[in-house]
Amino acid sequence: MKQKTILILGAATVATVAATAALQSGRDRDSRPASIEERLMPALEARVNDVREILIEASSGSTTLQSKGSGWVLVEAAGYPADEEKVRTLLLDLRDARRIEPKTANVDRHARLGLVAPDSEGATSVRVTLNDESGAPVDTLLIGKQRTSRAEPAAAQMGVTPDAQYYTLPGEGSQTFLAAGSLGVESRALGWLNQEFLNVDRSRIAAATITHPDGEEIVAVREDMGQNEMVVQNIPDGMVPRTPAGTAQLLGALQRLRFDDVRKADSMDWPEETIVSAVFSTEGGLRVSVESVKVPAPDNPETMVTWARVSFALEAEEPGGSPVTGEEAAAPPESEGPSREELLAEVAELRAATEGWAYALPTWKETSFRLRPEGVMEPAPEPEPEPEVVDAPSGEANGAGLDPAPLKMTPPPEGGGI
């Protein structure tokens, strides 16, 4: 068979398959329920901008997000700012979710779809209630089990991934629907917060001081900003620095610092006799002070939690003499770090974000702010003992005062010669 004939037959086959697929697609559209084109939460489409409160209920507890000013806050965290992008994404995902097909309206069969009250025993469902500024409901949705959907063979070959599918119960009725969309709603309260509250890169840290209530203190200085360790100062007699020094954790203490919980600082006690103070300084003069206390966890008194509050300042510029002019003024600056104006702006931004808050530090991170001297120094090794000298037979050390032993000579053999 000629190649031209093969190409023609191949094209005809592709056209036939495409026509068949189009016809089947048209039949599928005709046979689909009308709800396939409907939004899962119809009221939300027109009123998404009216939502001022979001209540998320799950077996693990409830989460309340409220609109405050130009942003959102988490009520369960004393009004700590929520991650606005996450809240916005949630509202748009709920608005854009679509009904695939109706399922049972029989309440007795809802449990099979995971559509039971979140506070029911063994429940895995999540209920989302959206309220307006007056507290009146805009819409509500109960989200049950996720159904594993299979891509059509042709779509799978092209790498097309179908939308996630969930069994849902919108509104207050009993009619359930299989829905498509991003409905994996975060049910943890902390999941709605940006838990990283401070980030000062380790490359900027020049010095650190940790002071304990009992007077113990660590002072460490980074003599070379390119090094990964600091030099411990004021080492007492009888002690030497550890090897490795153990100060690397001080350099990274403020980098990408996260919290495990957050609350208002004035809701806690901060007894002076229990506060450990850690002060970190950068080359440009930024000072970060971290005061921490250890208290029992409210749900488990045997577990201790380290809570910290932070403050920021900018060291005063060193008093200078007359203004620099001429060639000195044209010389490049010694440091390529942030300018004074940039540091002032940084301090203002950090204060605005953290002032008045206390943060529960992760267990693995707390040592960086509560390091003890034994963590960076150790007792000096005992000096090597002097080698023991054996006394001479007379009892005098080193044989002092003794005549040397006579030299023994071997007589030559008889007859002489060698």
Q: Are 106 and 160 in contact (CB under 8 A)?
A: no
152 vs 191, residue with greater confidence: 191
Categorize the per-residue pLDDT at 244 as very low, low, confident or very high, splitting at 50, 70 and 90: confident
Query: What average pLDDT does range 44-59 have in this prediction?
Result: 96
Q: Report the C-alpha gap between 290 and 310 in whole angstroms.
A: 5
Helix (H) or strand (E) holding 287: strand 286-297
Query: What average pLDDT does range 251-268 have in this prediction?
Result: 96
pLDDT reported for residue 1? 47
pLDDT at 96 over 90: yes
94 to 148, 185, 224, 336: CA distances (angstroms): 19, 10, 54, 47
Q: Report the C-alpha gap between 40 and 86 in whole angstroms.
A: 20
Query: What average pLDDT does range 298-325 have in this prediction?
Result: 79
Q: Report the C-alpha gap between 146 and 168 in whole angstroms.
A: 9
- Lowest mean pLDDT of 43-52, 105-114, 319-328, 363-372, name the range: 319-328
Q: Give pTM, 2 decimals.
A: 0.76
Q: Are 288 and 312 in contact (CB under 8 A)?
A: yes
